[in-house]
Amino acid sequence: MTVLQDKSNIDIAPSTPRRKRTIDLAGQLLTPTSSAKKSKTNIHISPSKKGVRRLDFSTPPTTPTKPAKAVSIYSKAKALFSRGCSLVDTDDTSHLPTRDREAHRLNDFFYTNIRDKSPNSLYISGPPGSGKSAQISVSFNYLKAKYGNSTDNSIVNIEGSTAKLISINCMSLNNVEHIFHEIYSQIEGKLSISYTKKKTAEDFYQLLDTHQLLDSVVVALDELDSLLTRDQHILFELFNCASFRGEPHKVKLILVGISNALDLSNKFLPRLKRNGLSPQSEQFLPYTAEQIRSVVITKLKSLNDESEKENTTCRAIPLFHPVALMLCCKKSASITGDLRKAFDICYKSIESLEKELVKKGEDVSKYTINNCPQVLISHVAGVCSNSFGENSSTRLQNLNLLQKAVLCCLINKQQVNKCQDLNVNAFFDFYVKHSAANAEKLLGILKKGEFLEILSALESSSVIVLSDKKEIKKSKNVFNVDIGNKNIKSNILFNDMVSAIGEVGVLKRLLYGK
């Protein structure tokens, strides 16, 4: 006997037309299973107590993906030396590798003036690639990591004194007058384009007098020489604001200027001092061959994983043959001492080896840091020959200011003073006296070791010749104990040197003498 139920309480599931529907023991109408087989969608209709059909959307199965291709040890190594790579791995470090002295003074400058709520200024100079801008970035990240504010990463608090860290590249400004607008915008935490009218120096000073949340503002201006004008009034405004002269502002300005031009000190700082402004100064010397070697080895050792670090059979210098690495470091040290040049040589040398292996049909992904073929001296020499092959004039143009200064002194001693037989020790004594008399201490005081490093770089560039006393031949090892007794001689023409120094006054005085 069939029991009839109220149709309003029966949940009807979808069915295929013209097919019989059966009633289960609970009184529910069932759809034949054959209809489910014909369905091409992932939509399932579930019964509902009120006769409303609910759609359940099931996620379709994912398409199988191919396993990721293994990254070779050479690709990982090239990433370490690519343009834009960081010199440090973490934000809790306070200095760049081999820049401990410069970093200590810079970090102490920031910490002391922020803590004391004192206006101050610092001028940093040095050739390109010597780590000036990178050290500022590292110091800022270190201060943020140690004293940072959780709500605003650019604000630090040191012993109850609050400061905002601001970094601006002056080359990005369309007009030098806009520097005050850029600083104003970053203090307020807004985009510079959000203002309908550019802020002026008066607006900037008013902000320093009325701001309620900050005690100090630390402003790092990279490429400072971009702000030079005919009357230099922009720089004077900024450095005057960061001094103790006149009525101090409520928010103190701590200014750091960074410039590649070493002669900017000669043109700019003396005038500042004549007007009662005396910013502190710090000079970044070019990287030496040993410093470059230390940085490169540190990067290469980061390729070792934890298991390989404990392996006693690990190579002392991963991926590079020691002689090949030394050639790379000495070559890059001779080309302005720019660390970026060393990274370029390393990158291209690794790439050259990788292409060589692939051309032979080898699977480079199978190699590890301990069994991979190494970069040899032939790879580095080929890269240097293709990238830095140059004539005498080009080699002179690639020298940094200190290297040119030493070379000018050597030419002055040999051609102006008519000295043909000169050893390294005698030349060092002459350089100290001659530079002190003609450079007015603008180039800094070189120690004997730094002086010998510059001679090594000059020899690598083939602009000087170091030879034994008895026979004139190029020395294979400049760092031996008898280097002071070696003869030194310039290997360029006087007219080429005149063209290379251009109108740089300090070099002209060193070359011609008084």
Instruction: Please give the full DSSP string across 269-321, using - where no structure is assigned.
Output: HHHHHHTT---EEEE-PPPPHHHHHHHHHHHHHTT--HHHHT-TT--SSSSB-
Contact by Cβ (8 Å): 21, 29: yes
- Domains of the chain, start order: 7-57 (no CATH), 100-283 (3.40.50.300), 289-389 (no CATH), 394-512 (1.10.10.2450)
d(CA 243, CA 62): 65
Q: How far is CA 173 from the centre of its chain?
A: 21
Q: How far apart are alpha carbons 190 and 203 in whole angstroms? A: 15
Residue type, 10: I
Q: What is the DSSP pairing of strand 161-169 with strand 155-158?
A: antiparallel
Q: Which two three-digit tokens encode residue 30?
A: 């069932």
Task: For the chain, 514 residues long, give each residue's pLDDT as a single digit of tens.
Answer: 444 445 444 444 454 555 545 444 444 545 555 444 444 445 555 555 555 566 555 666 666 665 556 788 999 999 999 877 777 766 678 889 889 999 999 999 999 999 999 999 999 988 888 899 999 999 999 999 999 877 788 899 999 999 999 999 998 888 888 999 999 999 998 888 888 899 999 999 999 999 989 999 999 999 888 887 777 788 888 988 998 766 678 999 999 999 887 666 667 777 777 777 778 888 898 899 999 999 999 899 888 864 455 555 567 888 999 999 999 998 888 777 888 889 989 999 999 999 999 999 999 989 988 889 999 998 998 888 776 655 667 778 778 888 899 999 998 888 766 666 788 888 998 998 888 888 766 777 788 888 888 887 788 777 888 876 544 444 344 333 356 778 888 888 888 888 888 888 888 888 887 6
Residue 261 has a CB neighbour count (10 Å cut-off) of 18
Please name the residue that has the structure tokens 């290997």.
Answer: 491
Helix, strand and coil in the chain, % to nearest 5: 45, 10, 40
CA distance 87 to 415: 43
Task: Indicate the SS3 state at residue 263.
Answer: coil
Nearest Cα residue to 460 out of 506, 512, 382, 403: 403
Spatial contact of 425 and 484, defined as CB atoms under 8 Å apart: yes
- Token readout for 265 is 């000190």
Res 350: pLDDT: 95
DSSP state of 34: H
Could you write out the DSSP letters of every residue in 206-259?
HHHHH-SS-SEEEEEEESGGGG--SS-HHHHHHHHHTSSSSSPPSSEEEEEEEE
Residue 277 contacts by C-beta under 8 Å, 6 or more apart in sequence? 121, 236, 239, 240, 243, 245
Query: Which pLDDT score, from 0 to 100, does residue 265 have?
Result: 65
| H or E element that contains 115 | helix 100-116
| Separation between Cα atoms, residue 78 and residue 72, nearest integer Å | 10
Q: Are 236 and 229 in contact (CB under 8 A)?
A: no
For 428, half-sphere exposure in the C-beta direction (CA atoms, 13 angstrom radius) is 19
User: What pLDDT, on the 0 to 100 scale, is given for residue 414?
Assistant: 84
Q: Can you tell me which residue has the tokens 């402004």?
A: 277
CA gap 311, 391 in Å, rounded = 46
pLDDT at 206: 93
**Sign of the Cα pseudo-torsion (402, 285, 323, 341, in order):** negative
255: left (phi over 0), alpha (psi -120 to 50) or beta: beta
The whole-number pLDDT of residue 305 equals: 66
